[in-house]
Amino acid sequence: MTAILLAVLCSTVPQEPGPSAWWVFLTDRGSGYEARIEAFRDSLDPASLSRRLEAGLPCGADSFDLEPWPRYVGEIESILGPGRVRTRSRFLNAVSVDASESEARELLLLPFVSGIRPVATSVYEPPDSSFRAAGGMSDSQLEQAGVALLLERGWTGSGITVGILDTGFDLEHPALASVDVIAQYDFINDDGYTGWEPGDPGGQAAHGTATLSVAGGLEPGVFSGAAPGASFALAKTEDISGEYQGEEDYWIEGLEWLDLQGAFLVSSSLGYIDWYSYSDMDGNTALTTIAADLAASRGMPVVNAIGNEGPADGTLIAPADGDSVFAVGGVDALGSPASFASRGPTWDGRIKPDFCARAVGVIVAQDGGTGYHPANGTSFAAPMVSGAAALLLEAHPEWTSMDALEALRATASQASSPDCALGWGVIDAAAAFMYRSVTGLVRRSDTGAPIPGRPLALSIGGDVFQITSGPSGWFAFCPDATGAFTITGSGGEGTVREVTGFLGDSGVETTVYVDFEPRGLPPSAFPVPSLGGVWFGFDLEAVSDVILTIMPLEGGEIAEIRRSGLPPGPYRAPVEGGAIYWDGCSSDGEPAASGPYFALLDTGGEVTVLKIALVR
């Protein structure tokens, strides 16, 4: 798109105009260094400080958190005139300014200016809806990414804040009306509203509306994004008019703002290549890349679309080249690489993308109305990955954002043989959920109902970890170790039946049953019908001998199971020592034929007749 625009300009004007916005880099951070760092650290909210400390940042702040020294900025303004400073960057110790090249070069004469560089413009493209999907709304894209299973299990991203950098957001769309927006800012118009406003070009909010819908939109029964329960901080940083050079500086300013809003991670579907060449895609040159890597060092990694400049190798755009940036490529519904998706490697030979998600025919919210349409672009793969990471962070409170994204990469579809077309492959959030983790569902043994908020103790490798089941009874914990483990109770009503097992790299899933005092429920059989064996649950009020007899409808006995001297209590859990299990075989060990059977359960003089069925 940029190349086409330049061709038109060259045909109508004698000479292509030079850059009109410049970065001005400063030599130092000014005076009062230590006190200013301490003041910045004290201004952080507890969640942001905790995130930074967990990321390994000493004291939670350093020199990259200091605003450019006001005296230096003031001198630059006095030379250029009021209103010419566009943005200030803590991470880069720089300001961006509206200036001609000659004016920018004059600033190099100042003793505190170390260098200048043009502000890059993005390769923004409006949502391409040339693909026509055949119904299904968002289900298919969620299932392909392994997100649907986590949503079914009650994980929604609750308690996790995702930052988004984009063109603007139509929060009146039905899919976005319920999104929890904790903060928003328009860095183009310098105000607190990120939707379309007078002076914006038509369609200004289209791209951002689409990406936000994929990340966290929800219209019940119609559409769902990846993390509809997450919170979002929204930064409007991209002017789509193309009337002036810029936006790289707004992107960086927005990124630094998101750091202060407590975002766990940032989703960006914007990229920058103007004023850069492939040799600059080395992870250390493009300014958005440098800023994104610094954000990751503060515990806030950036998930960025790799670009739509493919399919040739080496077509990725900044900041996707960052070594701490998670670059997202694109695939179609069959998992094949999208023909337009950019590819690595980086200039220094690293594999990119890191992973992929759907980028062809992605169902997204359409701004300015109530509808949806299919769109193409890696722009819509990145928010799917970001939403998946939010689900993992809710499910795994012990994980950092880097941990969650690395789990997505380690469990992607071709993790054992990555390449520069798909990276490590298509993400599978369900597999990442289980990665090196003990996962499972806590249930009542009498009714099978899930138990949310149940405290458990996980023992492995000599360590004991306290964990709690989630809102739908599911739990997950990555102990950073593999081997034999045990799950026991850690408080709460009822008695947890101990679970033992072995944890490997691919994880393990189990069910934890909790026994409660008998409530007068009748004996039960499950599953019915069964492809194999059947469990028979019951309660005892006194020490009893229990006898289970299996009979075909025409009479006779094909199997009998006895358990003697059982103490009083519930025997409902389908585990050893709980409910009685019949393996579906006759007394001689042969599988019983398909069909209906009677089960006579004698629980110490009281006999219950249950009807069961086998399906072979």
Interval 587-606: pLDDT, tens: 999 999 999 999 999 998 89
Whose CA is closest to 120, among 27, 238, 259, 254?
238
User: What mean pLDDT comes out for the span 567-572?
Assistant: 93
Residue 555 inside a domain? The answer is: yes
Residues 108 and 166 both lie in one domain: no
pLDDT in tens, 61-120: 999 999 999 999 999 999 999 999 999 999 999 999 999 999 999 999 999 999 999 998
User: What mean pLDDT comes out for the span 255-270?
Assistant: 96
| 8 A C-beta contact, residue 69 and residue 84 | no
Residue 237 inside a domain? The answer is: yes
pLDDT in tens, 15-71: 345 668 999 999 999 999 899 999 999 999 898 999 999 999 989 999 999 999 999
CATH of the domain at 268: 3.40.50.200
403/111 Cα distance (integer angstroms)? 43
Confidence tier at 128 by pLDDT (50, 70, 90): low
Strand partners, 89: 94
Residues 533 and 594 both lie in one domain: yes
pLDDT at residue 3, as a whole number: 28
| 8 A C-beta contact, residue 547 and residue 566 | no
| 8 A C-beta contact, residue 177 and residue 169 | no
Helices then strands, counting H and E runs in the chain, come out as 13, 31
Residue 588 inside a domain? The answer is: yes
Q: Which of 397, 422, 448 is the last residue of a domain?
A: 397
Strands 180-186 and 231-236: parallel
Structure tokens belonging to residue 507? 């994880």
pLDDT at residue 145, as a whole number: 98
Confidence tier at 129 by pLDDT (50, 70, 90): very low
Residues 176 and 291 both lie in one domain: yes
Residue 226 inside a domain? The answer is: yes
User: What mean pLDDT comes out for the span 137-160?
Assistant: 95
Residues 460 and 547 both lie in one domain: no
pLDDT at residue 15, as a whole number: 36
Residues 99 and 210 both lie in one domain: no
**Sheet strands (E) in 366-410:** 372-375
Residues 227 and 101 both lie in one domain: no
Of the ranges 11-25, 308-322, 346-360, 474-488, which one carries the lowest mean pLDDT score?
Answer: 11-25
Confidence tier at 132 by pLDDT (50, 70, 90): very low
pLDDT at residue 144, as a whole number: 97
Using the predicted structure, report yes or no on whether residue 131 has a pLDDT greater than 90: no
Of the ranges 203-212, 266-275, 325-334, which one carries the lowest mean pLDDT score?
Answer: 266-275
How is residue 498 annotated by DSSP? P
- How many domains, the chain? 4
Residues 154 and 271 both lie in one domain: yes
3-state DSSP assignment of residue 470: coil
CATH of the domain at 587: 2.60.40.4070
Q: Which of 488, 515, 542 is the last residue of a domain?
A: 515
Percent of the chain with pLDDT over 70: 94
Confidence tier at 245 by pLDDT (50, 70, 90): low
The amino acid at residue 326 is F
Residues 232 and 299 both lie in one domain: yes
Using the predicted structure, report yes or no on whether residue 160 has a pLDDT greater than 70: yes
Residues 109 and 160 both lie in one domain: no
| 8 A C-beta contact, residue 479 and residue 460 | yes
- By residue range, what is the domain housing residue 534? 524-614
Render the burial of 113-127: b for 16+ CB within 10 Å, e for the rest.
beebbbbbbbbbbeb
485/232 Cα distance (integer angstroms)? 37
Residues 189 and 286 both lie in one domain: yes
CATH of the domain at 445: 2.60.40.1120
pLDDT at residue 4, as a whole number: 22
336/187 Cα distance (integer angstroms)? 37
Residue 127 inside a domain? The answer is: no
Residue 133 inside a domain? The answer is: no
Give whole-number Cα distances, 469 to 322, 394, 440, 451, 452, in Å: 36, 11, 9, 7, 5
pLDDT at residue 519, as a whole number: 78
Q: Which of 469, 487, 515 is the last residue of a domain?
A: 515
Residue 429 inside a domain? The answer is: no
Q: Residue 552, preceding bond cis, omega within 30 degrees?
A: no
pLDDT at residue 272, as a whole number: 87
Structure tokens belonging to residue 139? 């289900």
Using the predicted structure, report yes or no on whether residue 136 has a pLDDT greater than 90: no
Whose CA is closest to 324, among 272, 281, 379, 283?
283
Residue 126 inside a domain? The answer is: no
Mean pLDDT (the chain) is 91
pLDDT at residue 6, as a whole number: 21
